Amino acid sequence: MTQYIDIAVNLLSDRLKHDIDTIINDAAKHHVSPLIVIGSDLDESAEAITTCQQYPQQLYCTTGIHPHHASSWNEHSKTRLTQLARQDTVVAIGECGLDYNRDFSPRPAQRKVFAAQLELACELNMPVLMHCREAHADFIAIVNEYRALLPNALLHCFTGSKDELIECLAADLHIGITGWVCDERRGQELARLVPLIPDHRIMVETDSPYLLPRSMRPKPKSSKNLPQYLPYIVEYMANLRQQSPTSLAQACYKNSRDFFQLPANKHLSSHL
């Protein structure tokens, strides 16, 4: 049986949080389990932990401060983030990084808070789930400062250039690919790059509820992307890589389990 792990689900977004049971069960019917719930600020990270505790082995989460929320960092943030990160359901620090596309927080604050979270991940010996949008030069410079002490590092939702991909792989980063690759308008360059990612460094994600794969047919009635669509993204990527969907799914699943140090999924069969 082919299994999948969705490594980035914004389950606590307003578009998803009221349907958690249904989303988890529908995903499991498509062999997508567990789901990694993203924490994008400290309050959401705490809520993610509470939610994961209600769904053991089906949900795990990250705890961190997204660059959009970097301005919220204060003298108490590191202490609170440390306490959150030590909870059993937490599998990575993040989502952290840089976003120069929207600049919801000033860039100096983004860089400071990103570095602080990488430093904490080194102290706690935890992997990091990272975000980079239109900020590659500063992003890779900061990552390389800490990379030697990080057990594992993932750039999720990669949408960069070939040169950026090469630099990320040189830093031994895992690369997360979303349904962006299925977008005939914006995803053409990414489609050309997906075959360049080594089998042992590639992961797959929905970034639900965002980035619904545009090429899905029949097209879902809702514009809301869901974890149950993950196998479609894998199949699309496998075609680009001239690889069987099963072998790519197995590689992504193994990479994800190893990266987040997840136990073997004994829970999946009970939900099929």
What is the arithmetic mean of pLDDT over 203-216?
Answer: 95
156 is in an annotated binding site: yes
In the prediction, which pLDDT does 267 show? Answer: 52
In the prediction, which pLDDT does 1 show? Answer: 86
In the prediction, which pLDDT does 47 show? Answer: 98
In the prediction, which pLDDT does 174 show? Answer: 98
Measured between alpha carbons, how far is residue 151 from residues 80, 140, 172, 232, 244 in Å?
Answer: 22, 17, 11, 30, 30
Please name which of 29, 30, 31, 32 lies closest in space to residue 8, comparing C-alpha atoms.
32
Q: Residue 266's pLDDT band (boundaries 50, 70, 90)?
A: low
Q: What is the pTM of this model?
A: 0.95
Which segments of the chain are extended strands (E)? 4-9, 32-37, 59-63, 90-99, 128-133, 153-155, 174-177, 202-204
- Pair of tokens at residue 135: 């900020």
pLDDT, greater one: 267 or 42: 42
In the prediction, which pLDDT does 166 show? Answer: 98
Measured between alpha carbons, how far is residue 2 from residues 29, 201, 244, 248, 253 in Å?
Answer: 12, 19, 12, 10, 9
pLDDT value at 221 more than 60: yes
In the prediction, which pLDDT does 264 show? Answer: 72
What is the arithmetic mean of pLDDT over 162-177?
Answer: 98
In the prediction, which pLDDT does 88 show? Answer: 96
In the prediction, which pLDDT does 271 show? Answer: 46
In the prediction, which pLDDT does 272 show? Answer: 43
**pLDDT tens-digit profile of 46-98?**
999 999 999 999 999 999 999 999 999 999 999 999 999 999 999 999 999 99
What is the dotted CATH code of the domain comprising 4-267? Answer: 3.20.20.140
95 is in an annotated binding site: yes
What is the arithmetic mean of pLDDT over 211-233?
Answer: 93
- Pair of tokens at residue 179: 């349904």
> pLDDT averaged over the chain?
95
What is the arithmetic mean of pLDDT over 23-38?
Answer: 98
**pLDDT tens-digit profile of 95-150?**
999 999 989 999 999 999 999 999 999 999 999 999 999 999 999 999 999 999 99
Helix (H), strand (E) counts: the chain: 9, 8
The answer to whether 161 and 97 have CB atoms below 8 angstroms apart is no
In the prediction, which pLDDT does 222 show? Answer: 86
167 is in an annotated binding site: no
Other CB atoms within a 10 A radius of the CB of residue 104 amount to 13
The answer to whether 65 and 265 have CB atoms below 8 angstroms apart is no
In the prediction, which pLDDT does 219 show? Answer: 87
207 is in an annotated binding site: yes
Question: What is the spatial distance between Cα 190 and Cα 175, in angstroms, rounded to a whole number?
Answer: 12
Which segments of 45-200 are extended strands (E)? 59-63, 90-99, 128-133, 153-155, 174-177
